[in-house]
Structure 1
Amino acid sequence: MSVEFEVRALDVETWPAFAELVEANNGVWGGCWCVGFHVKLGKGRTPQQNREEKEARVRSGDTHAALVFDGEKCLGWCQFGSPEELPEVKSRRLYEKGLTELPDWRVTCFFTGKGLRGRGVADVALGGALVQIGQLGGGVVEGYPEETDDRKVSGSFLHTGPMAAFENHGFTRTRPISPHRWVVTRTV
């Protein structure tokens, strides 16, 4: 029996379910609250500041994510947005070295709650993000997944998504930006 998940946009109505999942998981990566691609996280920034930043962005419409729900429970998400909305990228030097043109959209991070992993949430979330991107006008979409190459990888390294999920959704490897991370692209 397969479970049917529902994908909803992160907005003021879904914020409470999103916040509940983040709070149940120590603020995600120790308090990021999924703002690490919006702003440079550094010393002196608190989890509470990150929470307030994220909630303000949700209220103003300056953040996007495809949230995966099982009933009314949020299981995880895929964050996406324009380069202006999500200016921070990992491996920036190598990213910029091969950059010829900015994409219209970036898929920057994934999260699935503890005890909820291994159910295909990242794959469903990415599919939902692509649908939302299409509804917002589409264009060139870029992601930065981790290639596991049959090696065991900590979930913290997979925050930019697993390569298999991107390949399942028609992305093409464009260029490497670290030993196991790639820029992948697809047009929606």
Structure 2
Amino acid sequence: MTETWTIQPLDAGSWDAFAGLVERHNGVFGGCWCTWFHTMASEKERDSGKNCELKKRLVTEDRAHAALVMDGDTAIAWCQYGPPSELPNIYHRKQYEAEADLLPDYRITCIFVDKRYRHRGLAAVALQGALELIANAGGGVVEGYPHDNSGQRVAVLYDGTRALYERTGFDYIRPKGTKNCVMRTTVAPQKSRRSRS
């Protein structure tokens, strides 16, 4: 691990670094700007510029959260997280709600790594960074919905793999859709160690 990699929360002060990373990747996933999972579905359009404006407003209003992995002043990866009220638009939502045994305190919905820094373990760094920020905010039950790819290579991932989550201390709960699953852990408050659920 490079010593210059640090974790910074996405906020007004780190917006320019986040925006730089997204702009280097053409708005990410067709100009999404990591807005798809947010609650303002009626506000979203298939327009990168408008999604950028929406994301910036949500960050300014403290309604969008992410752990940014920084290489100096440059954002090189992120992991989006937030409460279900902030990130309700998960894939396979009907199935998820029909089978839900509890509502988590936080969801992890998106992990992205700069193409220049891939294959260096930064998805794990970003995921761990999100858990640390959640711990600093008081902790709680955290769910992620990664691909359950049985070790096979997948061309495009927005949410990581089951193996990544397992290495980070999450437990497998159940399948979600045909290619995803529900993973869960409990994060203790502050910077103390997480206990597995």
TM beyond 0.5: yes
Comparing 17-26 with 97-106, greater Cα deviation is found at 97-106
- Which secondary structure state, in structure 1, belongs to the residue aligned with residue 139 of structure 2? coil
The amino acid across from 1:136 in the alignment is A
1:64-83 mapped onto 2 (5 Å cutoff) = 64-83=65-84
Q: 2: distance between equivalents of 1:69 and 1:84?
A: 27
- Which secondary structure state, in structure 2, belongs to the residue aligned with residue 115 of structure 1? helix
Q: 1: distance between equivalents of 2:115 and 2:21?
A: 9
What displacement does 1:95 show?
Answer: 1.1
Q: Which residue of 2 aligns with 1:130?
A: 131
Q: Which residue of 1 aligns with 2:168?
A: 169
Comparing 140-149 with 158-167, greater Cα deviation is found at 158-167
Q: Which residue of 2 aligns with 1:186?
A: 185
Q: Which residue of 2 aligns with 1:31?
A: 31
The amino acid across from 1:77 in the alignment is W
Q: 1: distance between equivalents of 2:135 and 2:44?
A: 37
Q: Which residue of 2 aligns with 1:7?
A: 7
Cα RMSD (Å): 1.6
Q: 1: distance between equivalents of 2:134 and 2:44?
A: 33
Native 8 Å contact 2:7 2:69 kept in 1:
yes
- Which secondary structure state, in structure 1, belongs to the residue aligned with residue 132 of structure 2? helix
The amino acid across from 1:180 in the alignment is K
Native 8 Å contact 2:69 2:77 kept in 1:
yes
1:31-50 mapped onto 2 (5 Å cutoff) = 31-38=31-38, 39-40=40-41, 44-50=45-51
What displacement does 1:160 show?
Answer: 1.4
Q: TM-score, normalised by structure 2?
A: 0.89
The amino acid across from 1:88 in the alignment is N
5+ residue gaps, structure 1: none
Q: Percent identity?
A: 45
**Structure 1 residues 42 and 154 mapped into 2: Cα distance closer, same or farther (>3 Å)?**
farther
What displacement does 1:30 show?
Answer: 0.8
Q: Which residue of 1 aligns with 2:116?
A: 115
The one of the two structures with greater contact order (alpha-carbon pairs below 8 A, sep at least 6) is: 1
The amino acid across from 1:93 in the alignment is K
**Structure 1 residues 127 and 152 mapped into 2: Cα distance closer, same or farther (>3 Å)?**
same
Native 8 Å contact 2:108 2:144 kept in 1:
yes
Q: 2: distance between equivalents of 1:148 and 1:12?
A: 36
Deviations along 1:90-146, whole A, 9 cap, x unmatched?
111221121122110000001112222111111001111001001111111000011
**Structure 1 residues 44 and 127 mapped into 2: Cα distance closer, same or farther (>3 Å)?**
closer
- Which secondary structure state, in structure 2, belongs to the residue aligned with residue 174 of structure 1? strand
Q: 1: distance between equivalents of 2:181 and 2:42?
A: 22
Native 8 Å contact 2:68 2:77 kept in 1:
yes
